Structure 1
Amino acid sequence: MAKTNPLKVPPQDLDAEMSVLGALMLDKNAIVKIADTLKPADFYDPRHQKIYETIINLFAKSQPIDLLTVASKLKEKKLLKEVGGEKYLTTLIESVPTSAHIEHYSNAVREKRVRRDLINVSSEIHEKAFEHDDFETLLDQVEQKVFDIAGRSRIQKFVHLKDDLPAAYERLEKLHRGEGALRGVATSFTGIDNLLSGLQKSDLIIVGARPSFGKTALALDIAREASLKGHVVGIFSLEMSREQVIDRIIASQAQIPLWRLRTGRLAGDTEFGFVRQALDDLSKNPLFIDDSPSPNILQMRSMARRLQLERGLDLLIVDYLQLVQPRTGSDNMVQQITEVSRGLKGLAKELNIPVLAISQLSRAVDQREIKIPRLSDLRESGSLEQDADVVMLLYRKDRDRMDATEDEKNLVEVIIAKHRNGPLGSVQLKFDQEKVSFRNIDTTHQAPEE
């Protein structure tokens, strides 16, 4: 017969708790060292929770903290007897000779609290795993609880200005020299980067266009170039298989036609050498692809969290937004897109990274004589226009107008139709349809400030 383990006492350090409280009543200035990081709930002993909460209240009201004031406040709340009376408060003071090590004691108390939280969460997970019906929601809740505990365990304090000055000088010097002037992740398209200063942390960027206008090609070019610069990039490819995405990236990097690459009809050893060099360059890239069919926003959030935890994550690409499955089961497309767009914006904020999502446009654009896209053309836009920080719309005159010149062939206008924190404008890029890749041309127009 198997032996049962005796009940374990939850992690706690009563000596450290006593030392913290004693030090606080011993030195009136000790509270400022820990008040922002130590909470009443961090204490294991309920008596200590009440005493510390009383001390915090005194501190909040700028009242002195010592044996007499703490005892008086506890007595006023009819808690003095419950915590052991003045005798126990005196014992706390006598338990520590000095307040010099209060931060060490405080950290010990906090660490035990985190361990208790982990035990409680694991017990909660154990129970919910048996009874919870919605598996995806359960996984999301579990991850969120663990992330919350991890977040609470980190201490962030003021940093002395002089400690940040060397880094500030280096950053400003680079800006002055024109090096690394972008504040966000570079797209490597000069005009776009000049207008946006790169893709910014916590921003949701929408790239919208009609079919076959190069939305995916632009997103993959941005992903490839960012990863070549060392940025960790994740791609959710909901439309194409991982193999198709990889072939496109190789063709763009090697600068050879995609069709010849996919059929093996390369132009001799020269083009194969380009492919080999591209493979060598790309093998060093921190670029990750997921081609799971129709994931929902919870699954995507879980995978993105994991990638950030394991590898770090600087940029997330979603191709494309309308294929992300909603969780509500609503038949209303507007509600579905709203759920997805808010989920992606929440993900950008949670992970503090730019999220670039491709979106189709509604058929309304096809009904106009001049088919230049507008914000309102975002298909079943729901709250897309509201949630997005940046909206880029692609327009090709050669696909729209019979009077397009030879110079305008494969010329794509990238319209910055929304830019929450900066200027609007447009950028012209050349699209190489065979190599499914864009390249810079020196034409940028910035809209006048309102």
Structure 2
Amino acid sequence: MADQDLLIRNADAQSRALPANLEAEAAFLGAVLIDNRVIEELRTPLRPDHFFEPLHARIYERIVTLIDRQAVVTPVTLKPYFDSDPALKELGGITYLARLTADGQGLLAARELAEQIYDLALLRELASVGRNLVEGALDTSQEVAPMQQIERAEAALYAVAEGATSNGDAESFGLATHKALGMIEQAINSGGHVSGTTTGLVSLNEKTGGLHNSDLIILAGRPGMGKTSLATNIAFNAADRLLRDRQDGIAEEKSVGAAVAFFSLEMSADQLATRILAEQAGISSELLRMGKISRDDFHQLSRASQRLAELPLYIDDTPALSIAALRARARRLKRRHEIGLIVVDYLQLLQGTQRAQDNRVNEISEISRGLKTLAKELEVPVIALSQLSRAVEQREDKRPQLSDLRESGSIEQDADMVWFVYREDYYVAAREPKRPVESDDAKTHDAHAAWAAEMERVYGLAELIVAKQRHGATGKVRLRFEPKVTRFSDLADDALSAHAYD
């Protein structure tokens, strides 16, 4: 068409070099104006910014808006919105809209035209990424940081793979509201507790509403408190819920489960798998590692391993990962397996950039910011385990506080939620007095009896202290901990009534 020839002549030399098909764009718009139902049947998520010609993008945007209002869109109903459009006037005015529908050939292959427009938009975005990568690599006027350039390039390529654009346009309030209503509907359908990904612990879900997309959750505790066990439990519960929902025919977007990426910088993948197997089979992980199990236990273990074979839980046990490498690996897992939850065990074992490594506080700050950025970029919750300083041990009350987060205040600042694991029985067990013998006096016997009574009161009880929560109130969640199988679970109702619940 002559109109498309004029559009091409108006494009500059650089733009002409970019892959585009203006005739396909015009034919597709004509098909939509003839039959508005074409948009409803598209397999490709076509957006206005996928059109090369700005005028076509504006026409398509107006078409989508009017269809969303349940209006019939024709050249006549579009006319008021483009009477003063300068680009349209150059093409002959409002008659251009009518000429789009003159040739109905687009109706014969509307889907194929849409897919071509989409594919060419991705190629243009890819060309932009490549151009920026080359320019950055050749520019040595500033500090040369190849790893940072690689990380930025991978992030840009991930955006292209997701069909996103790099223009950073703001999201409309209407779209944000639609997402919020979807989360509320999910919470209602789940029984009023979970608006995100489930932790598998009812009491924790009630306190937090589950794990929310784009949130960074810091799970901290002193050694021996069971923070890795809790993270493993939550990872398993989320993955297992998704697997069960898939088997029940529930759509993944309606499931409160999630595929999980577990970055284990401290333990190997087989050690982590052993923990999960022990938990699900109800066998002591210590006896399992030593091989001290019966044949019945082994059969039980085999049945558990078969059930877990299809679990959407992916373990990366690469040691000494940098924050840039972790983000790159997470993007690949998201692209390949549609990851919905990321767990990092633990934050202090990650490495920052070479420049940040000169100062440990700056390095930890960079890592925590990187994890928060990752959560927002992939739109998934990220649980990062963290160490606590030894200041906890110097206090009479061993319950952790936000000030105990080790090495950097930025961890608290970047986190959307901060959880502390605290088990009183760990400290009570360490205070065991001398075991009495028959020859000891009554005072020694009484001291040990008093200790035994206290130990019985607190044994197997754990507190999850929600010290920070952007979405709700802080407080404590009481849990049951089974040390032999390293499993956290909800307290029974009678146990709840016997203990304070904040």
TM bin, normalised by shorter chain, reads 0.7 to 0.9
Contact 1:424-1:446 within 8 A present in 2 as well: no
Q: 1:55 to 1:379 in 2, by over 3 A?
A: closer
Q: 2:367 aligned with 1:340, yes or no?
A: yes
Contact 1:423-1:446 within 8 A present in 2 as well: no
Q: 1:63 to 1:436 in 2, by over 3 A?
A: same
Q: 1:55 to 1:353 in 2, by over 3 A?
A: closer
Q: 2:284 aligned with 1:273, yes or no?
A: no
Measured in 2, the distance between the counterparts of 1:392 and 1:346 equals 20
Aligned-pair CA distance for 1:335: 1.6
Contact 2:264-2:318 within 8 A present in 1 as well: yes
Number of residue pairs matched by the alignment = 402
Relative to its length, the structure with more helix (as a share) is 2
Q: What SS does the aligned partner of 1:293 have?
A: coil
Q: Which residue of 2 aligns with 1:32?
A: none
Contact 2:186-2:195 within 8 A present in 1 as well: no
Contact 2:261-2:315 within 8 A present in 1 as well: yes
Q: Which residue of 1 aligns with 2:442?
A: none
Q: Which residue of 1 aligns with 2:3?
A: none
Q: 2:328 aligned with 1:316, yes or no?
A: no
What TM-score do the two structures reach when normalised by structure 2? 0.68
Q: 2:103 aligned with 1:117, yes or no?
A: no
Aligned-pair CA distance for 1:186: 1.8
Q: 2:493 aligned with 1:440, yes or no?
A: no
Q: 1:397 to 1:121 in 2, by over 3 A?
A: closer
Q: Superposition pairs for residues 296-311 of structure 1, below 5 Å? A: 296-311=322-337
Q: Superposition pairs for residues 17-416 of structure 1, below 5 Å? A: 37-38=47-48, 42-43=51-52, 69-70=84-85, 96-97=100-101, 111-122=119-130, 125=133, 134-149=145-160, 150-152=163-165, 172=188, 174-175=189-190, 178=191, 181-230=193-242, 231-266=258-293, 268-327=294-353, 328-401=355-428, 402=431, 404-416=454-466
Aligned-pair CA distance for 1:436: 2.1
Q: 1:218 to 1:92 in 2, by over 3 A?
A: same
Contact 2:282-2:485 within 8 A present in 1 as well: yes
Aligned-pair CA distance for 1:126: 6.2
Aligned-pair CA distance for 1:280: 1.2
Q: What SS does the aligned partner of 2:466 have?
A: strand
Q: 1:374 to 1:99 in 2, by over 3 A?
A: farther
Q: Which residue of 1 aligns with 2:11?
A: none
Q: What SS does the aligned partner of 1:236 have?
A: strand
Measured in 1, the distance between the counterparts of 2:370 and 2:330 equals 12
Q: Which moved more, 1:428-437 or 1:250-259?
A: 428-437
Measured in 2, the distance between the counterparts of 1:166 and 1:209 equals 34
Aligned-pair CA distance for 1:151: 0.9
Aligned-pair CA distance for 1:311: 0.9
Root-mean-square deviation (Å): 4.4
Contact 1:257-1:435 within 8 A present in 2 as well: yes
What TM-score do the two structures reach when normalised by structure 1? 0.75
Contact 2:193-2:205 within 8 A present in 1 as well: no
Code of the residue aligned with 1:197 in structure 2: it is G
Q: Which moved more, 1:323-332 or 1:362-371?
A: 323-332
Aligned-pair CA distance for 1:399: 2.9
Measured in 2, the distance between the counterparts of 1:128 and 1:415 equals 46
Contact 1:425-1:445 within 8 A present in 2 as well: no
Report Cα offsets for 1:395-421 as digits up to 9, x if no partner: 222233445331212422111111211
Question: Which consecutive residues of structure 1, in runs of 5 or more, have no partner in the other structure?
Answer: 1-7, 28-35, 57-61, 75-82
Aligned-pair CA distance for 1:110: 5.9
Measured in 2, the distance between the counterparts of 1:208 and 1:285 equals 26
Report Cα offsets for 1:302-345 as digits up to 9, x if no partner: 11111111111121111011111111333322222211111111
Contact 1:237-1:289 within 8 A present in 2 as well: yes
Q: 2:436 aligned with 1:423, yes or no?
A: no
Measured in 1, the distance between the counterparts of 2:286 and 2:455 equals 26
Q: Which residue of 2 aligns with 1:12?
A: 20
Contact 2:217-2:417 within 8 A present in 1 as well: yes
Q: Which moved more, 1:128-137 or 1:286-295?
A: 128-137
Aligned-pair CA distance for 1:371: 1.3
Measured in 1, the distance between the counterparts of 2:286 and 2:270 equals 14
Code of the residue aligned with 1:331 in structure 2: it is D
Q: 1:66 to 1:186 in 2, by over 3 A?
A: closer
Code of the residue aligned with 2:52 in structure 1: it is F
Measured in 2, the distance between the counterparts of 1:394 and 1:168 equals 29
Contact 1:202-1:350 within 8 A present in 2 as well: yes
Contact 1:238-1:323 within 8 A present in 2 as well: yes
